């Protein structure tokens, strides 16, 4: 517990560094945007691949079961978020925003770094499998939640060819065919680039926080309710669902920790894209990110 608190504190300090750098005009929103693109398209895929090139090799017999529990987890999130969002508001736009906040956590930017810190770099492979449904749903169902309207749900097939998904496919092949003995000249660049992900992602979060009006962030009772559900209640339910499916140890811990992530930052980008008021979404992102420094160590008490 103390070790996890120490790790979370270290991660939070990096967020504060990003916040301070932006406030002192060392970085700006353009820096955050460009670094985000780098993390999403280069360093995070390298982190996924490096997780299967190390000395500790993931178990190939877990590939299908882990993918299955990943889809079950997101099926639960979608069902619960739709029911709760309709109970919280009659406004169609707010239902979509609340539904997105409850369904999609900040897995790519915060989840992977925290999983790597707690369970080790090899655990990123399992995290990428559990996150597979996120990539399928966030840019289809998630986008539709924010967009609203009566149009039909559309799936963008380009998502299947994103760098993170390609890295996931390759890592599955490496584990499934038990490919080992990568020469240092191949594995080291992936490891070095992958190691950029943790500090870069946290700096982006800190820089983004510096662009927000903090005086307006902490208002809104429903935002706090959603934060409590997102950080504590739903992850605890996911813990027992995962355990009931027969998973124990590392997989149980990784899925629970990923379920406990704060609100995903893609929500704010979708609000801007479709001309929706992003205030509530930004409130949820910031409040849940700040409180996750405390809630994630509490969740790990279950593990």
Residuewise pLDDT in 10s, the chain (303 residues): 676 777 777 878 888 899 999 999 999 888 888 888 888 889 988 988 998 887 777 888 999 999 999 999 999 999 999 999 999 999 888 999 999 999 999 887 788 878 888 888 889 899 989 988 887 888 788 888 888 765 566 666 777 888 888 998 999 999 999 888 889 999 999 999 988 887 887 888 788 778 777 676 777 788 899 999 999 999 999 999 999 999 988 999 999 999 999 998 778 777 877 788 777 887 888 889 888 888 988 898 877
3-state helix, strand and coil shares in percent for the chain, rounded to the nearest 5: 80, 0, 20
CA atoms of 11 and 138, how far apart (whole Å): 25
Number of domains into which the chain is organized: 1
- CA angle centred on 262, ends 12 and 162, rounded to 5°: 100
Q: Report the pLDDT value the prediction gives residue 130, as an integer from 0 to 100.
A: 93
CA atoms of 239 and 70, how far apart (whole Å): 12
Q: Answer yes or no: are the C-beta atoms of 194 and 38 closer than 8 Å.
A: no
Where does residue 174 rank: exposed (0-12), middle (13-18), buried (19+ CB within 10 A)?
A: buried
Q: Report the pLDDT value the prediction gives residue 23, as an integer from 0 to 100.
A: 93
Q: Give this prediction's pTM.
A: 0.84
Q: Answer yes or no: are the C-beta atoms of 95 and 86 closer than 8 Å.
A: yes
Can you give the residue range of the structural domain that contains 234?
2-302
Q: Report the pLDDT value the prediction gives residue 216, as an integer from 0 to 100.
A: 67
Number of residues that make up the chain: 303
Cβ neighbours for 216, distance < 8 A, ≥ 6 positions apart: 279, 283
Q: Report the pLDDT value the prediction gives residue 228, as an integer from 0 to 100.
A: 95
Q: Report the pLDDT value the prediction gives residue 233, as an integer from 0 to 100.
A: 96
Q: C-alpha dihedral over 66, 115, 41, 67, to 10 degrees?
A: 10
Q: What is the CATH number of the domain that holds 221?
A: 1.20.1530.20
Q: Answer yes or no: are the C-beta atoms of 56 and 123 closer than 8 Å.
A: no
Q: How far is CA 280 from CA 149, 236, 274, in A?
A: 19, 25, 15
Token digits for 90? 């009659």
Q: Report the pLDDT value the prediction gives residue 98, as an integer from 0 to 100.
A: 94
Where does residue 65 rank: exposed (0-12), middle (13-18), buried (19+ CB within 10 A)?
A: middle
b/e string for 83-104 if b means 16 or more Cβ within 10 A?
ebbeebbeeebbbbbbbbbbbb
């Amino acid at each position: 517990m103390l070790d996890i608190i120490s790790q979370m504190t270290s991660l939070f300090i990096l967020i504060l560094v990003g916040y301070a750098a932006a406030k002192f005009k060392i970085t700006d929103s353009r820096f955050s945007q460009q670094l985000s693109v780098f993390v999403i398209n280069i360093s995070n895929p390298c982190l996924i691949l490096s997780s299967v090139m190390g000395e500790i090799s993931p178990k190939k017999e877990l590939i299908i079961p882990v993918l299955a529990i990943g889809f079950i987890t997101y099926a639960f999130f979608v069902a619960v978020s739709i029911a709760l969002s309709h109970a919280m508001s009659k406004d169609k736009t707010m239902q979509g925003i609340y539904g997105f906040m409850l369904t999609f956590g900040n897995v790519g930017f915060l989840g992977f770094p925290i999983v790597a810190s707690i369970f080790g770099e090899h655990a990123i492979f399992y995290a990428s499998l559990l996150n597979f449904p996120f990539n399928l749903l966030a840019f289809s169902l998630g986008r539709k939640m924010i967009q609203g309207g009566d149009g039909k749900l559309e799936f963008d097939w380009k998502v299947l060819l994103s760098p993170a998904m390609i890295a996931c496919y390759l890592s599955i092949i490496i584990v499934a065919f038990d490919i080992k003995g990568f020469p240092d000249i191949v594995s080291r660049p992936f490891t070095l680039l992958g190691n950029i992900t943790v500090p870069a992602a946290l700096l982006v979060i800190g820089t983004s926080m510096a662009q927000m009006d903090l005086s307006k962030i902490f208002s809104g009772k429903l935002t706090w309710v959603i934060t409590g559900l997102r950080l504590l209640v739903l992850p605890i339910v996911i813990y027992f669902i995962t355990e009931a499916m027969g998973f124990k140890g590392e997989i149980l811990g990784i899925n629970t920790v990923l379920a406990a992530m704060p609100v995903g930052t893609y929500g704010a980008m979708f609000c801007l894209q479709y001309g929706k008021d992003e205030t509530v979404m930004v409130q949820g992102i910031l409040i849940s990110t700040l409180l996750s420094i405390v809630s994630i160590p509490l969740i790990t008490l279950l593990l």
